[in-house]
Amino acid sequence: MEVEIEHVELGFINELNKNICGLQVEGNLMCFALRTGSLFLIDLDTPSNVIRCQIPLVRDGGVNAEKVLKIWLNPSRSLILVKTNFAKYYLCDVDVIVKTNGESMTQNAIASVKQLSKKNCDVRSVAWVRNAKATGMHDKFNLLIGTARGQVYYIEINSKLSEQNATLLYESPDSIDGIYWNDANGDIIIASKNKLIYWDGLQSSSNNNKNDREISPKITLSKKRKSNEVEEYEHMHMEYTNKFAVYKNSFAWVTESGIVFSNVEQVKKSNKKVLGSSKVILNVELPNSKKPIRDIILSDYHILILRESSITIVNQLDNSVIYNQSIWSNDNEHILGFASDVHYKQATFWCFSASNIFEIILKKESNSVWRLLCDQQRYDDALNLQDLSLFEQSSIQYLKGMHLLEENVYSDAAKCFGKSDTVSIPEIALKLLDGDDGMLKIGEQKLNALQFFLSEKLLNYRHKDSLKYTIILDWIMWNYVRLFCLIDEKACSEREPDRLKYWDQRKEEISSSVKKLIDDNINLLERGTFYQLLEKSGRRIELLYLAEKLNDHQYLMNYWIRNENWYESLKVLQKAKDPQLAYKHANILLVNCSQSTINTWMTMENLNPVFLIDAILTYFSIYQKSTKGSKVLQENYALTYLKWYVGNNDVNDKIIYNTIVYMMITTPIIQEGNDAMQTDHNNDNDVIEFMENYSSKSHLEFVLRLSLKFERIKVAIYLLKLSDQYEDAVDLALSNGLVDEAKEIANMESLAKDFTTKRKLWIKIAQVVLSQHLEKPDIKQNIRSIIRESKGTVKINDLLPFFNEFTTVANLKDELVRSLEEHNHEIITIRDKIKHSLELKKDIIHETEKFKERYRILEPGKSCDQCQKMLQTRKFLVFPCGHCFHTDCLIRAILSSNDYNLKGKIENFQKRLNKDRKSVNPKELEELMATKCCLCSDIAINKIDEATIDDKERSQWVI
C-alpha cells in the first residue's frame, strides 16, 4: 500500500494560526472550527467556494472568554454539534448556513442544546442516530452522547431545531469513551474506562418481523434489559485523547495494553461472540514510541494511529505495520486528531493540527490485504477490494474456486474458475471431473459444474479469441448432449411417477439452457457441429429450434420432407420465400400436397414458374394416371397455378404457355352418362379462348401438332386460321363434318381481297354440301344458300360440275336465270368502261401533241441563273419553271449538291466519256441534266443550311 500526506492550502484564512480546534468531513463536505467560534464549510467538489459563519460565543475580552473545543458533523452533513469550554452545546443547520452564505446566524441556523448545558454535561463521545420517522428538516438525525460522568443521553431533535428532548438511557461510574450504534439493527457498544459493553438490538425488540420492528436506542438500552456481553481490559489513563473509533460496522478501542478492534456484523454472521471475538494489536507490536496514542481511525482493513505528529498504519488482518512516518512541520506542531469521510464514493482520511489540515491518501490498499483475506477464506471481501489488477482478481477467483471445490460446491466453484485465467481450461476441467464415483447424481453435478465453468469462459472469449470461443461453445453443447443421455438412462430405469416427473423437468431445464445457448451465440456457433451433436442424440426439439434460429430453411425443409410432414414443409417455404427452395422441393410437394403447395407458391412474388415446369409435368403425368378410369375428374392444381400466374403477371416465356396448352389439350374429360374416358370437343372452346388471349406467346406449330394428335379439331382449325392456312383449315373442318366452321373460315375478312382463295374455299364447301344433299328434295334451297352465304363468290356455273346427270333443270332454272342476268349486267358494264377508255386515249394523244408545241421566250440579254453571265455565250438549258443555266454551270451545281443519286449518274457518265467517247450518247447527259431544276427542286432544299455568300465572295466585299 502507498501512503501520501498532502497539505490542504488554507493560506487565504488569516486567523488559522494555532486556532483550529476541530475538523469533520462528511459527504465530501469539510467543516473545521476555530477556537474563536468561526465555522468554515468547504464543498470539496468546489473548493474555491468557502462559507464562513460565526458561533455566538460569550466574549468578555479576558482569559475566561468562551471558546470552541470540538465539533461533530452528522453523516448527511446537515447538522453540526458544537462544544464550547463553557459546557455549552449548539446545533447548526448546514443547509441554512449554505443558503445564507453564513451571513445570518438566526434561530433557524443555530440553536442551543439547553438540556445538556443545564446538566453541565462534558460530552466525550457522540453517535448519530438516523430517525426513520422523520417528518421535518431537522429531525432526520438524533444524538446518542456519552459524558465524562458516565451518562449516556439520547437527544431527540424535533422539527424545530431549538426543540430537543434529552433522555438518560444508561449510567456508568466511569467516563464514556465511545459509542457504537448500528442504524440497521440497533446494536450498541459502549466503551467506559476498562469495559466494553454490548447490547444486541435484534434481541431487544419484541416484534420478530424485521420489517415492522422499531429500532431505537431507547429500546436497545431499556432498563429492563441487561447487556449481552461485557469485556474488561486494562484501562488507559490518558483523559483527553480519542480512545474509540467507529468505521461502518467496525470499531476500535485504545486500552493500556493495545488496541481492541472488531467487525461487528462479520462476527455476528459467524455466530461468535461480538466482544469475545475481538482482535487486539498489542503495544509491543507497534513501533517504539514514548508518546501515547492521541487518536485512532479505521479504514476497511487498516487502523490509523496518531502519536503526537507520528502516523502509524497497521493491517487489521495480520497486525503488521505498513506505514510509520512523522508529519514534518516548521513549528514542530502536534497533530491534534483524525477525521474520516466514509459516506462518500470512496473513503477519505484527514488529520489536523492547530494551524494546518492534511489529507491522508491511501493508494492500492488492496495490495496489502487480498492475499491475507484469501488466507482467511474471505474471498468475497477480497474481490470487493478497489484497484485490484486483473491478475489479482484472477488469482482470488481461482483460490475461491479451489476452496469451494474442496467443499464439494461444484457449481459455485465452476463459476469462480470461469472468471480466472490463472490455470488453463483443460486443467480446470480435469479438476472438476476428477473423482467421479460412477453415480449418476455425482456425474450430473460435475457436468453441470463444467457447464458453469465453460459458460463463464465463453463470456471472456466472446470478443477476444474466436477460435477458442467456438471450441468452448462446441464443448458446452457436447456436455448438454451428455446430460440428456445421462437423464434418459436414469429415466428408463425409473419406476416411480414422481421421479419420472423430476427427470422430465430436468430435461426441460436442459432444453431451455440449450435454447438460451443458441440464442446468445446464434451468429458465432459452428452449425455443422451443433447439427451433428443434436442429430446423433435424437434431440428433435432442440434441433429444429437451432435450424429456425439460424434461418436454415433448407435444413428444415429436408427434415420435414424426410418425415413426410408436408404441412410443416410448406410453412417453412412460406416463411422463407426462397425461390431456390421452392424449385428444389417442388416435385415432391406438388405430388403429395398439391392444393396447399400451389397456394404457397401464389404467395411467393419472386417465383419463376419456368423452373417449376419439370415438377409440374411430373405431377401431371401422375394426375393423368390417377384420373384414368375415374368417374369424377379432379382439379388439375398445376394448371390452376400456371393460369393464375399468367393472369396476374406479364409473362413472355413461351414454355409456360406451351405447358398450359399441353395440359388443357391432353386432359381427358368425363362426360355424363359415360364411364369411359372420351375427348369432349366442346371443351376445345376453353383452349381456343386461352389461345385468343395469349396466341402470340406460345409455339403455334407445337400446339397444332398436339391438337391434331389428340383430335382437338376445333383447336387445330383455329390454329390453321391463325397461321393463314385457310385451305387446310377448311379441309380439316369438312373432313370432320364441321361445315359451319368451314363457312366461317371462307367468309373471314382477311380473305376479302383474295377472291381467288375465297372462291376456291367456297367451291370446296359447295362440293361437300352438294354431295351430301343431291338426293334430297331441298337441293334447290342448298344451291341458293351456298350462293347467298358466299356473297356471290360462287355462282351457278361454278356449281354445275358437282351435279350428276339426274339433277333436273327445274332445280337449277332460277339460279341459271339469275346468273345470266348478272352476266349480262357485267357485259354492259365492261362495254361502258371500254368506251370511256377510248375517249381517254384520244385525250392523251391530243395533250401529247400540244406538249410538243410548248416553248419559252427568252428576253435579250438573259443571263445564266447560276453564274449570272450571258446565256447565249455557251450551250444552255431552259427549264419549264423559267430558270436557265449553262450546261457546264448546271453540271457543277448538281455535282456540288446533296442529290447523290443524280450526282452519281453524271459522274459515271463522265468516267465512261473519259474512257471512250464512242461508248456514250450525248442525249443521255442531256436527259440527266433535264431531270430537275437545281434552284426550285429538292436540290435547293437540301442546301438550305449552307451560307448564301461563300468565303471568296465575302472577301471581295471587304473595304
Report pLDDT digits (tens) over 254-286. 998 899 999 999 899 888 999 999 999 999 999
Helix ranges (H only) for 376-496 are: 379-383, 390-406, 410-418, 425-433, 440-461, 466-492
User: How much of the chain exceeds pLDDT 90, in percent?
Assistant: 32
DSSP string, 18-83: TTEEEEEEETTEEEEEETTSEEEEEETTSTT-EEEEE------SSTT---EEEEEE-TTS-EEEEE
SS3 state at 271: coil
Q: Residue 59 has what pLDDT?
A: 77
Q: Residue 561 has what pLDDT?
A: 93
Instruction: Copy the grid coordinates of residue 483.
Output: 446430460
Tell which residue, 789, 814, 816, 784, has the closest CA to residue 800. 816
CA–CA separation, 326 vs 335, rounded Å? 10
Give the least confident one: 305-319, 414-428, 545-559, 942-956: 942-956
How far the first Cα of the chain sits from its last, in Å, is: 110
Q: Residue 208 has what pLDDT?
A: 53
Q: Residue 438 has what pLDDT?
A: 41
SS3 state at 311: strand
596, 570 in Cβ contact below 8 A?
yes
Polymer length in residues for the chain? 959
Give the model's confidence band at 806: pLDDT under 50 very low, under 70 low, under 90 confident, else very high. very low
Give the least confident one: 9-13, 24-28, 496-500, 540-544: 496-500
Give the model's confidence band at 442: pLDDT under 50 very low, under 70 low, under 90 confident, else very high. very low
Q: What is the dihedral of CA 660, 665, 670, 672, to 10 degrees?
A: 110
Rg (CA), the chain: 61
The β-bridge relationship of strands 876-878 and 20-26 is unpaired
CA angle, corner 133, sides to 127 and 136, nearest 5? 90
- In the chain, the amino acid numbered 420 is S
Q: Residue 674 has what pLDDT?
A: 46
Give the least confident one: 486-490, 750-754, 932-936, 948-952: 948-952
CA–CA separation, 349 vs 339, rounded Å? 6
Residue 516 buriedness (CB in 10 A; 0-12 / 13-18 / 19+): exposed
Q: Residue 222 has what pLDDT?
A: 84
Full strand arrangement of the beta sheet holding 50-54: 20-26, 29-34, 38-43, 50-54
The 10 Å Cβ neighbour count of residue 590 is 25
Helix H or strand E encompassing 170: strand 164-171
Give the model's confidence band at 439: pLDDT under 50 very low, under 70 low, under 90 confident, else very high. very low
Give the model's confidence band at 616: pLDDT under 50 very low, under 70 low, under 90 confident, else very high. very high
DSSP string, 781-825: HHHHHHHHHTTTSS-HHHHGGGS-TT--GGGTHHHHHHHHHHHHH
pLDDT at 331 over 80: no
Residue 724 buriedness (CB in 10 A; 0-12 / 13-18 / 19+): middle
Instruction: Copy the grid coordinates of residue 320.
Output: 503488521
- In the chain, the amino acid numbered 308 is E
730, 746 in Cβ contact below 8 A?
yes
CA–CA separation, 911 vs 916, rounded Å? 9
Cα distances from 194 to residues 231, 276, 307, 336, in angstroms, run: 8, 15, 21, 24
Q: Residue 83 has what pLDDT?
A: 94
- In the chain, the amino acid numbered 508 is E
Stronger pLDDT, 755 or 245, i.e. the higher one: 245
Query: What sign results for the dihedral spanned by CA atoms 531, 536, 537, 539?
Result: positive
Cα distances from 469 to residues 460, 476, 626, in angstroms, run: 9, 11, 56
CA–CA separation, 932 vs 781, rounded Å? 65
Q: Residue 803 has what pLDDT?
A: 56
Burial 168-184 (b: 16+ CB within 10 A, else e): ebbebeebbbbbbbbbe
Q: Residue 290 has what pLDDT?
A: 85
Give the model's confidence band at 655: pLDDT under 50 very low, under 70 low, under 90 confident, else very high. very high
Q: Residue 611 has what pLDDT?
A: 94
Task: Determine the average pLDDT of the residues in 888-916.
Answer: 88
Per-residue pLDDT of 848-877, as tens digits, reads 777 666 777 888 888 999 899 998 888 998
Query: What residues pair up with 341 in beta bridges, in sequence order?
Result: 348
In 507-561, DSSP assigns E strands to none
Residue 179 sits at φ, ψ, to 5 deg, of -130, 130
Task: Determine the average pLDDT of the residues in 552-573.
Answer: 92
Tell which residue, 372, 276, 262, has the closest CA to residue 317. 372
Give the model's confidence band at 626: pLDDT under 50 very low, under 70 low, under 90 confident, else very high. confident
- DSSP class of 631: S
The structure's pTM equals 0.59
The rounded mean pLDDT for the chain is 84
pLDDT at 26 over 70: yes
Q: Which residues, at least 6 apart from 410, have a Cβ–Cβ distance to it below 8 Å?
A: 404, 432, 445, 446, 448, 449
Task: Determine the average pLDDT of the residues in 533-549.
Answer: 87
Give the least confident one: 231-245, 375-389, 551-565: 231-245
Q: Residue 278 has what pLDDT?
A: 92
Give the model's confidence band at 12: pLDDT under 50 very low, under 70 low, under 90 confident, else very high. confident
Burial 798-815 (b: 16+ CB within 10 A, else e): bbeebbeeeeeeebbeeb
Give the model's confidence band at 178: pLDDT under 50 very low, under 70 low, under 90 confident, else very high. very high
Give the model's confidence band at 440: pLDDT under 50 very low, under 70 low, under 90 confident, else very high. very low
CA–CA separation, 230 vs 198, rounded Å? 6
Instruction: Copy the grid coordinates of residue 551.
Output: 434461418
Give the least confident one: 83-87, 180-184, 427-431, 942-946: 942-946
Burial 304-328 (b: 16+ CB within 10 A, else e): bbbbbbbbbbbbbbebeebbbeebe
Per-residue pLDDT of 100-144, as tens digits, reads 888 877 777 899 998 888 888 999 999 999 987 776 666 678 999
Query: What sign results for the dihedral spanned by CA atoms 914, 919, 922, 925?
Result: negative
Q: Residue 235 has what pLDDT?
A: 79
Helix, strand, coil shares of the chain, percent, nearest 5, are 45, 20, 35
pLDDT at 572 over 80: yes
- In the chain, the amino acid numbered 239 is E
Q: Residue 593 has what pLDDT?
A: 93
pLDDT at 145 over 90: yes
For the chain, give the longest Cα–Cα distance: 175
Task: Determine the average pLDDT of the residues in 550-558.
Answer: 90
pLDDT at 777 over 60: no
Q: Residue 915 has what pLDDT?
A: 86
Stronger pLDDT, 335 or 956, i.e. the higher one: 335
Q: Residue 313 has what pLDDT?
A: 95
Residue 25 sits at φ, ψ, to 5 deg, of -135, 120
63, 10 in Cβ contact below 8 A?
no
Give the least confident one: 86-100, 791-805, 870-884: 791-805
Give the model's confidence band at 441: pLDDT under 50 very low, under 70 low, under 90 confident, else very high. very low
Tell which residue, 856, 847, 914, has the closest CA to residue 883. 856
Task: Determine the average pLDDT of the residues in 166-186.
Answer: 92
Q: What is the dihedral of CA 707, 711, 716, 718, to 10 degrees?
A: -120
CA–CA separation, 143 vs 127, rounded Å? 6
